[in-house]
Amino acid sequence: MLKSKTFLKKTRAGGVMKIVREHYLRDDIGCGAAGCTACGGAHEGPALEPQPQDPASSLCPQPHYLLPDTNVLLHQIVSAWRPGTWDSVASSLRLPGSLETYVEQEQGENANDRNDRAIRVAAKWYNEHLKKMSADNQLQVIFITNDRKNKEKAVEEGIPAFTCEEYVKSLTANPELIDRLACLSEEGNEIESGKIIFSEHLPLSKLQQGIKSGTYLQGTFRASRENYLEATVWIHGDNEENKEIILQGLKHLNRAVHEDIVAVELLPKSQWVAPSSVVLHDEGQNEDDVEKEEEREQMLKTAVSEKMLKPTGRVVGIIKRNWRPYCGMLSKSDIKESRRHLFTPADKRIPRIRIETRQASTLEGRRIIVAIDGWPRNSRYPNGHFVKNLGDVGEKETETEVLLLEHDVPHQPFSQAVLSFLPKMPWSITEKDMKNREDLRHLCICSVDPPGCTDIDDALHCRELENGNLEVGVHIADVSHFIRPGNALDQESARRGTTVYLCEKRIDMVPELLSSNLCSLKCDVDRLAFSCIWEMNHSAEILKTKFTKSVINSKASLTYAEAQLRIDSANMRDDITTSLRGLNKLAKILKKKRIEKGALTLSSPEVRFHMDSETHDPIDLQTKELRETNSMVEEFMLLANISVAKKIHEEFSEHALLRKHPAPPPSNYEILVKAAKSRNLEIKTDTAKSLAESLDRAESPTFPYLNTLLRILATRCMMQAVYFCSGMDNDFHHYGLASPIYTHFTSPIRRYADVIVHRLLAVAIGADCTYPELTDKHKLADICKNLNYRHKMAQYAQRASVAFHTQLFFKSKGIVSEEAYILFVRKNAIVVLIPKYGLEGTVFFEEKDKPNPRLIYDDEIPSLKIEDTVFHVFDKVKVKIMLDSSNLQHQKIRMSLVEPQIPGISIPPDNISNMNLNGPEKKKMKFEK
Amino acid sequence: MAGLELLSDQGYRVDGRRAGELRKIQARMGVFAQADGSAYIEQGNTKALAVVYGPHEIRGSRARALPDRALVNCQYSSATFSTGERKRRPHGDRKSCEMGLQLRQTFEAAILTQLHPRSQIDIYVQVLQADGGTYAACVNAATLAVLDAGIPMRDFVCACSAGFVDGTALADLSHVEEAAGGPQLALALLPASGQIALLEMDARLHEDHLERVLEAAAQAARDVHTLLDLVVRQHVREASILLGD
């Protein structure tokens, strides 16, 4: 049957357009119930279970299907997670297309009412249809709606209907399910006295109007980690000024949550504020202390010089919520028997969430997941509901799970569908594989990696040619041979984007069979590789570049240390050693050239844990050591990446996947320049080269660590390097490496970007064929976006893992005091770095229950004067490190000042000597064990 | 592409069709007595009228006459009221010239022009309502009109458009689907022999997909043929009843 729809629409230009559309009503949509003779096999897609296995409900004892209305489905999808709980009838969206259940909009009926009616008609149709199908087994469809009127009408029409809450309460088997219901009921919102705290959000249509006319700005809301009353909004678009707007105070934040897309209104200049340097955490247990909040807000507004003021605004509406389920812990309410509790998310940027649960006592001390349902105007905190219990706090598994979840790292085991695309074992190289491949098994190739590395994705060789030149080859695991475009394995790796290395665990991007076996270029086995071979002269100038797919047989898998030993040893003369020496010689020249061009050598304190082999507890911390061989491998990887980047960009100017590192805006360097100035050093930041040179010059004979500190600070000034699609951008420059073009080619086992680059290169040299998604620059741009996100998240997850293990380490170690250097100076705190552990921490000078010391903060130098002692950046101090477990959720390393001594603030040294005594003793005991 | 979902998860298109399904086709032959042949076709909301004159002597400059075959002259126009916004379309604008040229190519391939040397066949097509697939509707209408005029052809020419959305080939695009901006292909087919009279596409489409989209369009064109064949038979039956056979 054909229905025609005619309606008038206003166009963007303001004209009125008449739109005529056809609508074909189908008579071939089945009901989806298995064995329904009336519909035959017309149904496709997921079918209903023949006999719904619902948990017993006291409201409707006979077997039944559920038909939730759209709102219930949208809001309760989390509770719908659990299989077996909701056997919902095929989604209501499909039914209106069917002939029997088509509902036309009546005069004066709005779209929502029509939808509701359509769902009711569908429910009725289903009930009659199922009755026809089998009179004896009494199947029923139950309509679930939270809309009172809708329910009344349904009952009138003879459809069994319940509200969500009624139904879930009636489920005798699952009493805990009620906690998981999103509390949306109107009564639920009136928890508080009704005092309205926040101003209303404007409707979307008004926001869009405002954004178009420029009165409002659209941007991503980013809450501050350090101060819950402050946030910034990153404005979308390329408008250079007003890129970032500051929001201050609860009312101006107006219920926006981290990552939401919001519309903000700029405040008049007279109300602009400067970003406060105060560290402030939301700790109030009771909810309604709005007055107190205002007091605190006042505290932020200290007098500052005119030019420090930044554009300030307030949130007028939310364009898109980006809520997700949050990990965190329950802060049990003080009132006994209370069912409403506050939940504190692990991420400090997320406000606390009020949830309703009856299992507070069991959930105490556990990590749980909670989802936000809404944030009414009269409530200090958003409302949410309990989703999942992860386990005890402090347990290593729980904490790892939390940090993976919090950083959105996909870490489930690979599905069957994914594994089905793995090659069958035992695997060997076949004739077919040899097509388009060069046999390089005779070459003396070896790999150099950190100790314990099982996913070896690069190997090297170097030999002298007959004409006296050198042939250097970089051989990369040919992952794209195993991961074919478009299949489940490819999709899963694309989604994961990168392998995540945590302290004691590796979350693989590709299944282990590939990562640690077939793709890993282990020694003495034949492996498929993608080789990049250069002919160079002895001054490391490239004469010829060749890319080819190949088969290699690595002669040795060395660690950095082993390789270094071979190079240094006087009496080893075998092929591998000569090869390594040749590589090392060339690498040194390459590095020199690169640095001459202005590549930066930056520094960041990296630490490694020595793990106890049984308990996997960290026993010792060590900063990473760098050898010549590290930089040798790195140099050739850079060279390969640059060569490949040139090649693929030459071949595919529109859709090459490249990596760029934008130059940071000059303002980023302010901290560095000021800090150096305080030491009478000058840092030039106009170009990468001058920065590199001035960093090299910045030495102090009395203070050898200063240079490293400056480099650490410089690292903080940098921008993130990102992947992009060459057709979507025209700035390709890599600032840090001082290369006009760059990409990632050398680690396809652990980075998906490399897999794409491999495919592009394979097409470019005619070794493989292209596929549609590869040549679509929009698809490629989407991939880049995901990869950038995953890489960022993986980095954060790694840091979080290190932080957690540092805590474990200090837990076992007890209290120690160490030398530290000041990295930053804040208004009420200093941030220090402890070189011995590569550990960074904050020393606060304000405590809640103590009288505040006299603090004078000078932003220009920057320095902080406490009583009579002045702290500058890079000053050496002594701090005491201990684990603060007072807040179970955020166990943290607490640092307090030991030296210089300030009465009333620093800790008296005799106190420490005691602790120092305790420390070694404990250690001894451990050895005895 | 815009936020509109052109193909639902269940495999239905915006107007309720499945990927390979055509819109409803209704056609009539012999709508005007004045012309030698005429036909009217509706493909969903796309409606077109075709009129054929000829074969007749060359009009205008005699120099245009071809010594070995007939000259096929096609003119395309669309009514001012054919789209959502009323818009005057002067004769001879680029779009209609191009369409006329395409129609001419299509029918030169199908009509046995060598039977009428030094003569001319005029095909006039007007689109009364446009809702996607105007070229296809024009070709189909013109085929019927040429048949109505009794001009010998190799075969029917059946045309259909096809597009490509989310890895699926969609046959017979409506205006909404065309406006979404995906690749779109127009195919005119001689169904009996499977020969292609005209194939046109001006968007980027990866070669791996081309075959599938082409097959979808060809299948749709064959479906169109079945329907047009019915229309012709029905028309002949009616005509013969009137003649009193």
**How far is Cα A512 from Cα A529, in angstroms, rounded to an integer?**
18
CATH (domain of A98) = 3.40.50.1010
- A89–chain B nearest CA distance, Å: 15
- A545–chain B nearest CA distance, Å: 30
Q: In terms of domains, do A175 and A208 share one?
A: no
CATH (domain of A267) = 2.40.50.690
Q: Give the pTM.
A: 0.71
Q: In terms of domains, do A521 and A641 share one?
A: yes
Residue A702 domain-assigned (yes or no): no
Residue A455 domain-assigned (yes or no): yes
Residues 6 or more apart in contact with residue A288 via CB below 8 angstroms: A192, A193, A195, A380
- B20–chain A nearest CA distance, Å: 14
With CA atoms as reference, report the closest residue to A471 among A458, A460, A481, A462.
A462
For A24, which residue in chain B has the nearest alpha carbon? Answer: B16
Q: Do A18 and B176 touch (CB under 8 A)?
A: no
Residue B2 domain-assigned (yes or no): no
Residue B3 domain-assigned (yes or no): no
**How far is Cα A581 from Cα A583, in angstroms, rounded to an integer?**
5
Contacts with A26 from chain B: Cβ below 8 Å: 12, 16
Inter-helix orientation angle A560-568/A628-651, to 10°:
110
Question: Which pLDDT band, with edges at 50, 70 and 90, does A94 fall under?
Answer: very low
Q: Do A21 and B23 touch (CB under 8 A)?
A: no
Q: In terms of domains, do A326 and A434 share one?
A: no
What percent of chain A has a predicted confidence (pLDDT) above 70?
A: 75
Distance, C-alpha A842 to centroid of its chain: 24
What's residue A195's pLDDT?
67
Cβ atoms A500, A507 nearer than 8 A: yes
Residue B167 domain-assigned (yes or no): yes
Domain of A540 in residue numbering reads as: 416-663+719-796
Residues 6 or more apart in contact with residue A241 via CB below 8 angstroms: none
Counting Cα atoms < 13 Å in the Cβ hemisphere of A54 gives 27
Residue A672 domain-assigned (yes or no): no
Greatest mean pLDDT among A47-61, A148-162, A521-535 lies in A521-535
Distances (CA, A) of A772 to A511, A785, A792, B205: 25, 19, 28, 8
Higher pLDDT, A148 or A632: A632
What's residue B76's pLDDT?
93
The answer, yes or no, to whether residue A611 has pLDDT greater than 80, is no
**How far is Cα A833 from Cα A874, in angstroms, rounded to an integer?**
9
What's residue A926's pLDDT?
34
Residue A924 domain-assigned (yes or no): no
Q: In terms of domains, do A465 and A511 share one?
A: yes
Q: Do A2 and B24 touch (CB under 8 A)?
A: yes
**Which pairs count as long-range contacts for B148-151, CB under 8 Å and 24+ apart, including other chains?**
B148/B29, B148/B30, B148/B36, B148/B37, B148/B38, B148/B39, B148/B52, B148/B235, B149/B35, B149/B36, B149/B37, B149/B52, B149/B53, B149/B54, B150/B36, B150/B37, B151/B37, B151/B52, B151/B54, B151/B55, B151/B111, B151/B121
With CA atoms as reference, report the closest residue to A316 among A205, A216, A212, A195.
A216
- B15–chain A nearest CA distance, Å: 5
**How far is Cα B107 from Cα A61, in angstroms, rounded to an integer?**
70
Distance, C-alpha A746 to centroid of its chain: 23
Residues 6 or more apart in contact with residue A733 via CB below 8 angstroms: A660, A661, A662, A663, A739, A740
What's residue B99's pLDDT?
93
* CB contact A17 to B (< 8 Å): yes
Please name every residue paired with A68 in a beta bridge, in sequence order, or none if there are none.
A144
Q: Do B16 and A15 touch (CB under 8 A)?
A: no
The answer, yes or no, to whether residue A865 has pLDDT greater than 60, is yes
Name the least confident of A413-422, A524-533, A645-654, A814-823: A814-823
Exposed / middle / buried, residue A288 (Cβ in 10 Å: 0-12, 13-18, 19+): middle
**How far is Cα B76 from Cα B57, in angstroms, rounded to an integer?**
21
**How far is Cα A852 from Cα A830, in angstroms, rounded to an integer?**
15
**Which pairs count as long-range contacts for B204-212, CB under 8 Å and 24+ apart, including other chains?**
B205/B164, B206/A770, B206/A771, B206/A772, B206/A775, B206/A776, B208/A771, B208/A772, B209/A772, B209/B164, B209/B169, B212/B164, B212/B169
Cβ atoms A440, A473 nearer than 8 A: yes
**Dihedrals phi, psi of A730, to nearest 5 degrees:** -125, 5
Q: Three-state DSSP class for A739?
A: strand
Q: Across residues A886-906, what is the average pLDDT?
A: 70
Instruction: Give the number of domains in chain B.
Output: 1
The answer, yes or no, to whether residue A268 has pLDDT greater than 60, is yes
Residues 6 or more apart in contact with residue A627 via CB below 8 angstroms: A560, A561, A564
Question: Which pLDDT band, with edges at 50, 70 and 90, does A685 fall under?
Answer: confident
Q: Across residues A581-589, what is the average pLDDT?
A: 90
ipTM: 0.82
Of the residues A11, A24, A92, the best mutation for testing chain B's interface (the one with the most B CB atoms within 10 Å of its CB) is A24
Residue A833 domain-assigned (yes or no): yes
What's residue B162's pLDDT?
94
Pairing between strand A261-266 and B37-43?
unpaired
CA torsion, points A312, A314, A320, A325, in degrees to nearest 10?
90
Of the residues A10, A22, A208, the best mutation for testing chain B's interface (the one with the most B CB atoms within 10 Å of its CB) is A22
For B205, which residue in chain A has the nearest alpha carbon? Answer: A772
Residue A285 domain-assigned (yes or no): no
* CB contact A12 to B (< 8 Å): no
CATH (domain of A849) = 2.40.50.140
Q: Do B208 and A771 touch (CB under 8 A)?
A: yes
What's residue A454's pLDDT?
83
Pairing between strand B168-171 and A340-345?
unpaired
Residue B138 domain-assigned (yes or no): yes
Residue from the list A19, A23, A44 with its beta carbon closest to the beta carbon of B16: A23
Residue B8 domain-assigned (yes or no): no
What is the amino acid identity at position A364? E
The whole-chain average pLDDT of chain A stands at: 77
DSSP B110-149: HB-GGGSTTEEEEEEEEEEE-SS-HHHHHHHHHHHHHHHH
Q: What is the pLDDT of residues A207-258, one digit of tens each?
A: 888 888 888 888 888 887 777 778 888 887 655 555 778 888 878 888 888 8
Contacts with A771 from chain B: Cβ below 8 Å: 206, 208
Contacts with A8 from chain B: Cβ below 8 Å: none
Q: Across residues A792-816, what is the average pLDDT?
A: 82
- B16–chain A nearest CA distance, Å: 5
Distances (CA, A) of A215 to A209, A219, A223, B132: 9, 13, 23, 40
What's residue B163's pLDDT?
92
Residues 6 or more apart in contact with residue A773 via CB below 8 angstroms: A485, A486, A779, A780
Tokens of B200: 């046109």
Tokens of B130: 């446009």
- B7–chain A nearest CA distance, Å: 13
**How far is Cα A775 from Cα B207, in angstroms, rounded to an integer?**
11
Instruction: Give the number of domains in chain A.
Output: 4
User: Which residue, of A115, A148, A180, is where some domain finishes?
Assistant: A180
CATH (domain of B237) = 3.30.230.70
Q: In terms of domains, do A478 and A559 share one?
A: yes
Q: In terms of domains, do A131 and A221 share one?
A: no
Residue B10 domain-assigned (yes or no): no
- A19–chain B nearest CA distance, Å: 6
Residue A3 domain-assigned (yes or no): no
What's residue A625's pLDDT?
63
With CA atoms as reference, report the closest residue to A98 among A1, A234, A220.
A1
Q: In terms of domains, do A626 and A754 share one?
A: yes
Q: In terms of domains, do A263 and A339 share one?
A: yes
pLDDT tens for each residue of chain B, 245 residues long: 345 778 887 788 888 888 889 999 999 999 999 999 999 999 999 999 999 998 999 988 888 889 999 999 999 999 888 887 777 777 778 889 999 999 999 999 999 999 999 999 999 999 999 988 999 999 999 999 999 999 999 999 999 999 998 888 999 999 888 888 888 999 999 999 999 999 999 888 888 889 999 999 999 999 999 999 999 999 999 988 888 76
* CB contact A19 to B (< 8 Å): yes
* CB contact A135 to B (< 8 Å): no
Question: Which pLDDT band, with edges at 50, 70 and 90, does A96 fall under?
Answer: very low
Name the least confident of A35-44, A62-71, A241-250, A572-581: A35-44
**How far is Cα B199 from Cα B187, in angstroms, rounded to an integer?**
5
Residues of B with CB under 8 A from a CB of A: 9-12, 15-17, 21, 23-24, 44-45, 84-85, 129, 131, 174, 176, 206, 208-209
Tokens of B86: 């009323």
**Dihedrals phi, psi of A240, to nearest 5 degrees:** -70, -45
Which residue carries 């976006």 as its tokens?
Answer: A785
What's residue B170's pLDDT?
93
Please name every residue paired with A313 in a beta bridge, in sequence order, or none if there are none.
A247, A266
Cβ atoms B130, A20 nearer than 8 A: no
Residues 6 or more apart in contact with residue A871 via CB below 8 angstroms: A822, A825, A830, A863, A864, A865, A877
What's residue B223's pLDDT?
94
Residue B6 domain-assigned (yes or no): no
What's residue B25's pLDDT?
93
Pairing between strand A353-356 and A383-392?
parallel
Q: In terms of domains, do A785 and A845 share one?
A: no
Q: What is the pLDDT of residues A324-354, one digit of tens each?
A: 888 888 877 666 666 778 888 877 788 888 8
Interchain CB contacts (distance < 8 Å): A and B: 48
**How far is Cα A380 from Cα A393, in angstroms, rounded to an integer?**
27
Please name every residue paired with A808 in a beta bridge, in sequence order, or none if there are none.
none
Q: In terms of domains, do A375 and A257 share one?
A: yes
Residue B15 domain-assigned (yes or no): no
The three state secondary structure string of A141-179 is EEEECCCHHHHHHHHHCCCCEECHHHHHHHECCCCCHHH
Q: Do A19 and B206 touch (CB under 8 A)?
A: no
Domain of B233 in residue numbering reads as: 21-243
Residue A169 domain-assigned (yes or no): yes
**How far is Cα A467 from Cα A899, in angstroms, rounded to an integer?**
65
Q: In terms of domains, do A621 and A765 share one?
A: yes
Q: What is the pLDDT of residues A829-859, one digit of tens each?
A: 788 888 777 777 778 776 655 666 677 777 6
Distance, C-alpha A427 to centroid of its chain: 36
Q: Across residues A786-791, what is the average pLDDT?
A: 91
For B14, which residue in chain A has the nearest alpha carbon? Answer: A23
Tokens of A804: 């957690």
Please name every residue paired with A657 in a beta bridge, in sequence order, or none if there are none.
A725
Q: Do B11 and A20 touch (CB under 8 A)?
A: no
Tokens of A368: 């749980």
Tokens of B203: 């968007």
**How far is Cα A146 from Cα A150, in angstroms, rounded to an integer?**
8
Q: In terms of domains, do A172 and A239 share one?
A: no
**How far is Cα A764 from Cα A813, in angstroms, rounded to an integer?**
56
**How far is Cα A47 from Cα A87, in angstroms, rounded to an integer?**
10
- B133–chain A nearest CA distance, Å: 14
Q: Do A97 and B12 touch (CB under 8 A)?
A: yes
The answer, yes or no, to whether residue A45 has pLDDT greater than 60, is no
Residues 6 or more apart in contact with residue A519 via CB below 8 angstroms: A455, A457, A477, A478, A479, A482, A510, A527, A748, A749
Exposed / middle / buried, residue A365 (Cβ in 10 Å: 0-12, 13-18, 19+): middle
Question: Which pLDDT band, with edges at 50, 70 and 90, does A769 fall under?
Answer: confident
